[in-house]
Structure 1
Amino acid sequence: MTWALEEGRLLGAPARVLRELVATELNQCQPDMPDAPVLFADDGSAIAAVTIDRLPAAEAFHYLVDQGLLARLSIGSIVRVPFRGRSVRGWITGFPGHSDIAAGKLRPVKAVLGDMPVFNGHDLVAARVISRYYLGGLWQVLRHFQPPGLPVRTGSVEPQTSRPALRAENCLPRVDLYEVAPAEEALSSVFDLIQSCIADQRSAIVVDPVAPTLTASRLRRHGVPVIDLTACRSQTEERLAWIDAATRDGVAVVGGRSAVFQHVGNPGLFVVVDETNPSLKEQSSPCYHAREVAVVRAACLGADVALTSASPSFEARIWAADVRRPEPSARRRGWPAVEIIHRQDEPPTGGILSEGAVARARRVLEQGGRILLFLNRAGEARATRCGACLRLRTCDACGGALLPERGTRPGQDRRLACTSCQAILPITCAHCGSAKVKRLGAGTRALAREAEHLFPRNSIVTVDRESRSSVDLADVIVGTEAAFWRTGALDLVVVVDLDSLLLAPDATAVENAWRLLVRAAAHAPPRADNRPYAGMLIQTYMPEIPFSAALVDGDPEKAASEILDDRESNRLPPFVRCARVTVTGENSSTWARNIAQLARSCGAQVLGPDESGSSSRVLVLSSEPAEAWKSVALGASEARSAGRKVRIEVDPSRLE
């Protein structure tokens, strides 16, 4: 394993691209990007560059600003302008001082909406970097800076317009990564940073995807002035909270994923809590991740970044100048005793839970304890095993899970299809020759029915994304990942089906499995409790599993080394950059193939197109993505011009 280090950072393709984009935009904007209008003519008028909302055009349009509006305009002002016979909304994104269009042909700005800018010049630089990095429109990014309704000043407080010093030389801010123990409060490691920032009369933006209101309460108890963006109950309250944050210094602004775009007067720190949480990734265009947006905005605003996680991502390791880890002894004490139950030698008539897991659960329940049966699936099976010898059926080429081939007609021989590389294999088992196949993995409903039969005297609750049942009085909790956010400390955690996590049809399945195991460990009793039994049981049919030593020792570095080796050998992020392009509409496959061909012509690796109904998608991977991304953007633009809907997800959280 080779980690390419530069200035203390692991540099993969995403880091190089983002650094180059930030450097380019900062060099272009300094020092000739004024926040105020530049007079153009003797009558006191000026030229404004306006980016129009919902218009997929790369360039801004020039408009004439008469003297009566000059005092109300700056970078980030919302205006209404004429465009192709309509009156449309846009944002001031520059004052060029001259235009290639004759002065007599320039159309005037009709009105200024609101009396506060929603971003400043440095936020505009960040927006340009984000739009280029995620292959989205500038207007799509600028919309995230805007509050509900129009910003209007309250009282006599003036918005902060000072522009902090930039890091033009290094291009990237200082990023500290805080690895916390599974059961440790994620915010505790950065309290001192936040308080120091507030003491310097600079604001801190705290992004918490799980419990922002709870985080805001904890900060208040430590004497930190807080603006909780998630406590608002109406658009009016949201607008007032936005204005309050934009016009105050020395305050902690707390919110969910979208809080990373909050306009603040004097920012000093961006904190992203639990940076591996999937909800930090936006699903609509541009599909940004709050972690990367925090890095970009901090670079443009002269702020620092702090990331916290119990299982740090490789992307976080890329940016981190310093990784703060708990002491090995403390981490081991906080990690539960783990027992791996191998089920490949059990009789095929066994249930979802092994005999060992049932016996351990009954013992805990008899002593008045509570247990969690974790199964991250509510749908159909993700893997199969031989019905005779019970061995997992895996692909000979890539090791992926095998499922019965779909669309087999009567009279045809049954075959198995790989969920990862789509290879077709015979149904007969290579070890025993049997043609019997058993689907692996029931969902949470089947598990709950079995639990009711096994533990009839105990209360059982099922928790998934849709359920609203209370878990406070439940003895047995049957749940998916959603259960982690609704339960506290428990007396036993059983990971029912590790194989379905490791064999998921996703190139990042192993890393996602480790992340979920770390979350499960946070609810199990730690070793320090000195209980006479393992607090975390893991069931598997695989004779060998990845990171088994890391599971027993609770050492994320061992797991990271194994996963990174796998990523490097298979040319996956962070060693390459990835974009998933989905085209929807008539003849979507033709347009998807066009995008794939353009990307291949630039040396990119392309998987697909994969067709599903009226949609087709391709996966583009490149270690030198500059030209490949231009070709993807060109193909997407052509498809949109033909009336097709195109969604581009850069750095997708799942590589399905």
Structure 2
Amino acid sequence: MQPPRWKSSEPNQPAGVSSVPRIRVLLPLPLAAGAYDYRIPAGMAVQPGDFVVVPLGGRQVVGVAWDGPSDPDLPASKLRDVAGLLDVPPMTETLRRFVTWVAAYTLSAPGAVLRMAMSAPAALEPPPARAGWQLANAEPPSRMTPGRARVLAALRPGQVMAGAELAAAAGVSSAVVRGLADAGMLVPALLPPGRAFAPPDLALPGPVLGPEQDSAAAALRAQVAARDFGVTLLTGVTGSGKTEVYLDAVAECLREGRQALVLLPEIALSAQWLERFRRRFGVDPALWHSELGSKTRAKTWRAVAEGEVGVLVGARSALFLPFPDLGLIVVDEEHETAFKQEEGVVYHARDMAVVRARLAQATCVLVSATPSLETLNNVESGRYRHLDLPERHGAAGMAVVQALDLRKTPPERGRFLAPPLVEAIRETLARGEQAMLFLNRRGYAPLTLCRACGHRMRCPNCTAWLVEHRAQKRLQCHHCGHAEPIPPTCPECSAPGTLTPVGPGVERVVEEATALFPDARRIVMASDTIPGPAAAAAAAAAISDRQVDLIIGTQIVAKGWHFPGLTLVGVVDADLGLAGGDLRAAERTLQLLHQVAGRAGRAEAPGRVLMQTFNPDHPVMQALVSHDFEAFMHAEAAGRRPGHWPPFGRLAALIVSSEDEREADRAARDLGLAAPRGDGVEILGPAPAPLALLRGRHRRRLLLKARKDVQVQPLLREWLERVKLPNSVRVQVDVDPVGFL
């Protein structure tokens, strides 16, 4: 990419460590050195926050003039000149402090964090000027065609209009406009820059809120109006109107003249949320997610920087957009692990949202029907406020949840739906209502093995089985994307026709449902069938319009959908998330199944949820049946507190990886030997990661466990500095890990 154009500036001679004016510049590159010193040439004024073009090696790079003193030991003779200053709003001090804070907390290179704040390079280029037409000073002829007269009448003196817009306003063809220009009646002129996003209409009436909703909304409005930092947890059962309440806070933020950011875990699947926003404010919000094209990203980034965007709805990366006056951050479904970024700069958007709100003196609202134990602990300690909506809005009541014991009522041989669930679906469909089947597993079967020799089809690049996708006639790894055709014979023993699918995936449930309910109109909601926003919106519309009788899906179906006709939810395998030794396995399973259960009975007709399980007495199942989330979380806290497990202690992981297994083992061993020791600190490992091979790299893990009062970042820095590792070995640092694969 060519460096964008830049503007000239007046001279500036800041007081510095020498007579040569210099400035620190941070580049969006993962360089350990951080910011570099550059000389400010005569005739140019550069201040912290300005976007600049500087030389680096043999190329020119765009960076940001950064805060802090220059290196007093660096002689002026080694300085290189700033090459140019970009015509773009400077990065605010708040965002620069946020970049520095995230880098220090996550032990990342500051430039790697800056790159996330400069994720739309084309936005640094001023938008191209657009040409239009305005009236000339010439006197119009005495005789003129009616069409030409209408064109001249459509333009006020000094007004500029695009040719197509002018022709449409006058009801003529573009040829008539060109004819007037040829006659000297119109002259070319530049169009004024238009708004990229229409402002929300605050005059539109909001929805009628119930007493509890109104009270919660008033508390959030007061917090926003105070223009001071504070964090509030907004809880409530599914369907209690949490979205309407925090949209009231968004409206208050706009009335204050500030900007609002709403983070959603799956923005590409939020068609119904966007429809609620349109009803509330009459326009679409600005969007930010990975599926936006480069032009839209550039337009949105620049509009945010110029203060034109009042409300932006985005994925976790939206936290790094250049808001000049951020007054409110909402993290919807704050418990979702989708807010944790696991690659590159490893951070949790929920936690970083709180930090950005603090730096901006803004309100932060965390929203969930099943909040994380970390957030609940912050409420109990008094760091966060708490607002609760205990009842569903309107006439809807809570769905009845029942655990189906598969030991007593197993499915028929070769099938996966138990007779009570099959019968409940038949009754639901007979009443003209909708039913849903949920299984959080993509594909047809999670494992394929040979009946003759027992060989299991595994990924060559990962410690994972290949998942059969029968419709595409392929086996696929869901970790690295490796795919291969289903072989006709066993690769190990060459026996023909012996490869057998083991266990159900969502495609296998579809096959069974098709045989059991042949007349039911079905839709499959999984990442394979719902690839983006348009597909999600079409699926939601089809279900809402009652063009679908039976919904079958993975965790996508749990993402906040409102389907009034849906009264029955069947969970095919409620035990699925409980396997393994993950610290948060039970908590996560409860949150997911609670979300899924919340899709049933959201209108007048009562809802029912049937969960197939081999362990109906498990605390997760009992909490779901009794709707007693609070008691479950109290028990979870009691189990973690004695061992100082989060949120009552600190964790940080080192993930060591190399393409050479022995090299990975040596590096992990050396780190283990150099591990910090001390009161309140414990090192677990090194040990092979559960995914010991991922994308062709062998992985080993070490876990630093510490008391809550221990600062883990200095310990980690000293630890990593003690060991010199080869360049072929990577060490990823994960402070506050939420997953352990």
TM-score if structure 2 supplies the norm length? Answer: 0.66
**For residue 322 of structure 1, what is the aligned residue in structure 2?**
385
Once the two structures are TM-superposed, the CA of residue 138 in structure 1 deviates from its matched residue by: 0.8
- What is the aligned partner in structure 2 of residue 354 from structure 1? 418
Shift of 1:560: 1.6
Equivalent position amino acid for 1:525 in 2: G
Matched, 1:189 2:245: yes
Deviation, 1:530, is 6.3
1:592-631 maps to which residues of 2 (within 5 A)?
592-599=668-675, 601=677, 603-610=681-688, 611-612=692-693, 614-624=697-707, 628-631=712-715
Matches within 5 A, 1:356-435: 356-378=420-442
For residues 592 and 79 of structure 1, the distance between their equivalents in structure 2, rounded to whole angstroms, comes to: 41
Indicate yes or no: 2:273 matched with 1:228.
Answer: no
Spell out, residue by residue over 1:27-66, the C-alpha distance to the aligned partner (whole angstroms, 9 max, x if none). Answer: xxxxxxxxx97244997x5221122332421442222112
Question: CA-to-partner distance for each residue in 1:629-649, whole Å, 9 max, x for gaps?
Answer: 445445657566523233333
In the alignment, structure 1 residue 121 sits paired with structure 2 residue 93: yes
- Whether the 8 Å CA contact 1:186–1:274 is kept in 2: the answer is no
The 3-state SS of whatever aligns with 1:183 is coil
Q: Would the aligned equivalents of 1:181 and 1:331 in 2 still touch at CA under 8 Å?
A: no
Query: Partner residue of 1:343?
Result: 406
Query: Structure 1: how far apart are the matches of 2:309 and 2:525?
Result: 40
2:509 aligned to 436, 439, 447, which one? 447
**Root mean square deviation of aligned Cα:** 3.5
Equivalent in 644, 649, 652 of residue 729 of structure 2: 644
Superposition deviation, residue 335 in structure 1: 2.1
| Distance change in 2, residues 1:618/1:173 (3 Å) | farther
Q: How far did residue 558 of structure 1 move?
A: 2.0
- CA displacement at 1:540 relative to structure 2: 1.2
Aligned position for 2:172: none
Residue 143 of structure 1 aligns with which residue?
115
Q: CA deviation at 1:484?
A: 3.0
Answer with 1 or 2: which has the greater Rg. Answer: 2
- Once residues 89 and 427 of structure 2 are traced to their aligned partners in structure 1, the CA distance between those partners, rounded to angstroms, is 64
Is residue 2:634 matched to residue 1:558? no
Q: Which amino acid aligns with 2:252?
A: S
Equivalent residues of 2:650, 2:712 under 8 A apart: no
- Partners of 1:106 and 1:175 in 2: CA distance: 45
Structure 2 CA distance for partners of 1:377 and 1:131, relative to 1, 3 Å: same
Answer yes or no: is 1:203 the counterpart of 2:262: no
Within 5 Å, give how 1:443-482 maps onto structure 2.
443-468=505-530, 470=539, 472=543, 473-482=547-556
CA distance in 1, matches of 2:446, 2:686: 24
* 3-state SS of paired residue (1:623): strand
Partner of 2:232: 176
Identify the residue that residue 618 of structure 2 maps to in structure 1: 545
1:496-529 CA distance string (max 9 Å, x none): 2112222245221111111111111221115x84
User: Distance in 2 between the 1:510 and 1:458 partners?
Assistant: 34
Task: Identify the structure with bigger relative contact order (alpha carbons < 8 Å, sequence gap 6+).
Answer: 1
Q: Which residue in the other structure is 2:186 paired with?
A: none
Tell me the alpha carbon deviations over residues 347-406 of structure 1, each in whole angstroms, 9 at most, x when there is no partner.
Answer: 686542222112211111222222111111236669xxxxxxxxxxxxxxxxxxxxxx99
Per-residue CA deviations over 1:315-366 (Å, capped at 9, x if unaligned) read 3334452111113687996421111112223468654222211221111122
Secondary structure of 1:67's partner?
coil
Change beyond 3 A, Cα 1:450–1:215: closer
Give the match's secondary structure for 2:319.
Answer: helix
In the alignment, structure 1 residue 278 sits paired with structure 2 residue 351: no
Q: 1:347, 1:105 → 2: CA distance?
A: 77
Q: How does 1:514-593 map to 2 (within 5 A)?
A: 514-525=590-601, 529=604, 531=606, 535-569=608-642, 571-585=644-658, 586=660, 587-593=663-669
**SS, match of residue 341 in structure 1:** strand
Aligned residues: 546
Residue 483 in 1 paired to residue 552 in 2?
Answer: no
Unaligned runs of 5+ in 2: 1-11, 128-191, 195-227, 448-463, 466-500
1:237–1:476 distance in 2 versus 1, CA, 3 Å: closer
Q: 1:90 to 1:329 in 2, by over 3 A?
A: closer
Is the 1:578–1:620 contact (alpha carbons within 8 Å) kept by the matching residues of 2? yes
Q: Equivalent pairs: percent with the same residue?
A: 26
Paired position in structure 1 for 2:349:
290
Counterpart-to-counterpart distance in 1, 2:293 and 2:505: 38
Closer/same/farther in 2, CA of residues 250 and 79 from structure 1, 3 Å limit:
closer
Name the CA distance, whole Å, in 2 between partners of 1:476 and 1:195.
Answer: 37
TM-score normalised per structure 1: 0.74
Indicate yes or no: 2:63 matched with 1:90: yes
Does structure 2 retain, via aligned residues, the 8 Å contact 1:508–1:655? no
Aligned to 2:154: none
1:436-455 superposed Cα distances (whole Å, 9 cap, x missing partner): xxx99522233223222322
Task: Report how far residue 228 of structure 1 moved.
Answer: 0.5
Q: Pick from 360, 385, 389: which aligns with 1:301?
A: 360
